[in-house]
Amino acid sequence: MITDHIANISVSTQASVYFDGKCVSHGITFPDGTKKSVGVVLPSTLAFKTGAPEIMECVAGSCEYKLAGSDAWLKSSPGEKFSIPGNSSFDIRVTEAYHYICHFG
- Structural domains in the chain (count): 1
**Contact, 66 vs 72, CB < 8 A?**
yes
Residue 82 included in any domain: yes
What is the span of the domain harbouring residue 42? 32-104
Give 105's pLDDT tier (boundaries 50, 70, 90): confident
Instruction: Report in angstroms the alpha-carbon separations of 63 from 7, 15, 38, 43, 92.
Output: 26, 21, 15, 9, 7
Question: Quick one: pLDDT at residue 2?
Answer: 87
Q: Which CATH number fits the domain that encloses residue 87? A: 2.60.120.10
Residue 50 included in any domain: yes
**Contact, 39 vs 46, CB < 8 A?**
no
For 36-91, what is each residue's pLDDT tens digit?
999 999 999 999 999 999 999 999 999 999 999 999 999 999 999 999 999 999 99
Residue 84 included in any domain: yes
